[in-house]
Amino acid sequence: MEDKLAKLLHFLQDDLAIPAADLQLALRHPEQNPNLLPIILWQYGLVSLHELDRIFDWLQGNA
């Protein structure tokens, strides 16, 4: 699980240019897990719907 989260965080920072501070905010969410992280980022307005779609595509391809 840790490896999947690390890869996801790497993708979010490198491919989508999401700042580390934004990711840390989302990771502090009580229900945080790698499957909910994209939704949390979207709820906080840290990613657009297009970016959310790209994240889901990445997750599907790296399951």
The predicted-structure confidence for 22-60, as pLDDT tens digits, reads as follows 999 888 876 656 678 899 999 999 999 999 999 999 999
The predicted structure's pLDDT at residue 27: 86
- Overall number of domains in the chain: 1
pTM above threshold 0.95: no
Residues with Cβ within 8 Å of residue 13, at least 6 apart in sequence: 19, 20, 23
Beta strands in the chain (DSSP E): none
Give the separation between CA 6 and CA 4, rounded to whole angstroms.
5
Give the separation between CA 48 and CA 43, rounded to whole angstroms.
10
The predicted structure's pLDDT at residue 1: 53
Give the separation between CA 48 and CA 6, rounded to whole angstroms.
21
The predicted structure's pLDDT at residue 11: 95
Domain of residue 45, residue span: 2-61
pLDDT in tens, 3-27: 888 899 999 999 999 999 999 988 8
34 in Cβ contact with 44 (< 8 Å): no
